[in-house]
Amino acid sequence: MMDSTQTRADEASKTMLNSATAIRVGIDLGTNTSVVQASFEGRPLELKEDLVRSVVGFPKAGIIPGILPSDTKVIFGDEAIDLRLHLELKWPLHEGFVEDMEVCKIFTKHLRALMDPEGKSKLWGVVGAPANASPQRQRDIRATMVGVLDRMLIVPEPFLAAMGLRDDPAFKRASGENDPTKHSLIVDIGAGTTDLCLVRGYFPSAEDQISFPKAGNFVDDMIYQGVSRRYPDLKLTRVSITQLKEKYSFVRGYPRDAKVKVYVDGRPQVLDFSEILQEACDSLSPFILKGIKELLSRCDSDSIVEVMQNVILTGGGSEIHGLCEKIESELRNEGYDCARALRPSDYKRLVARGGLKVAENVREEQWQVPM
């Protein structure tokens, strides 16, 4: 009979071998868009696709052969959006969390195929989660990673965004070489939630984080309600509303022309959505300001000045024209005299890149088995 000490040593050796030969990955599992980044032995892997709309399309009942590419039974991302007239679209996540477990499992297996097309590698990865995600929400995320990741760790998304910014040359120049992982307040405005996090050189506690379900989808709802009131005969889909917001959104004081050609009862019309978009986008900023002020009140006197000068807006909502400037202006108007709000030039990959950085430095004992 093999000695139990030798058995444990063999198991430890096997784990170390798996760790050494595993692809490290960072995953941003987003309500609107998901992102993956990967490396092997510290070298980034070139992926055919690393950003995917978080949507899964299934053929509508009765669809005739030859309509969908290769008569496939499931389509993902932008391709599903493009073919939406022939598909039932399912969004696996809502407000940053798993909404449909079975659809989410299908979606995460698609993400794995992007990082390991041949399905032969071990994947050890860090997955972002909204700030202060409950234990049950985290268990849901882990469940979607069974068969996708061999080892995993869940980390708050705003913290990963700070890690992703750390080596960004453009951001360093804009921020005056401030290290976002030392003193910053990250405001990650996603589709489902806005997550705020104090980052002060160590892993954030629950007290360092705030999350609320007012984000991109909330703005979409406000736009939909505004359009329904002003143009009751105009029927815009969820996809069309989101596209309208992404192209024309702005806040008061930073106007944009939002005259769009649409079809009403089959006839073309040019409608002005400017006021509707501005009101919808303005409705988000009070929640963000409240969260920022709450976290600033939790800062000690030794760090508050540095944190105030490093309020970082990221996520898709940071692209709302003028929002970053408005947040800075309103903070200063309320007495936060040295407040400075910054926005990275490319927010899309920050969380996944931060996840990858963490994955490359996780200690052996910290890894968890998805279940």
The answer to whether 128 touches 27, Cβ cutoff 8 Å, is yes
Terminal Cα-to-Cα distance of the chain (whole angstroms): 31
Residue 90, classed as helix, strand or coil, is strand
The answer to whether 348 touches 35, Cβ cutoff 8 Å, is yes
The answer to whether 251 touches 285, Cβ cutoff 8 Å, is yes
Lowest mean pLDDT among 169-178, 223-232, 295-304: 169-178
pTM of the model: 0.83
pLDDT beyond 70 at 161: yes
State the sign of the Cα–Cα–Cα–Cα dihedral 333, 334, 336, 341: negative
pLDDT top residue among 351 and 302: 351
- Looking at every residue in the chain, the average pLDDT score rounds to 89
Query: How confident is residue 96, by pLDDT bands cut at 50, 70 and 90?
Result: confident
The DSSP-derived string for 159-226 is HHHHHHHTT-HHHHHHHTS--TTTSEEEEEE-SS-EEEEEESSS---GGGEEEES-SHHHHHHHHHHH
Which pLDDT does position 18 carry in this prediction? 54
pLDDT beyond 80 at 115: yes
d(CA 197, CA 37): 22
Stretch 206-212: mean pLDDT, rounded? 91
d(CA 110, CA 316): 22
pLDDT beyond 90 at 36: yes
Which pLDDT does position 71 carry in this prediction? 83
d(CA 168, CA 50): 18
d(CA 236, CA 262): 9
Q: How many CB atoms lie within 10 A of CB 58?
A: 17
d(CA 332, CA 338): 7
Which pLDDT does position 249 carry in this prediction? 96
Domains and CATH numbers, the chain: 55-90 (no CATH), 161-213+285-342 (3.30.420.40), 216-282 (3.30.420.40)
The CA radius of gyration of the chain, in Å to the nearest whole number, is 22
The DSSP-derived string for 47-75 is -S--EEES-EEEEPTTPPTTSSGGG-S-E
Which pLDDT does position 168 carry in this prediction? 75
d(CA 249, CA 244): 8
d(CA 93, CA 32): 8
Cross-strand pairs, 26: 37, 126
Token code pair at residue 59: 């053929």
Rounded to 10 degrees, the C-alpha dihedral 334/252/245/166 comes to: -40
d(CA 74, CA 87): 9
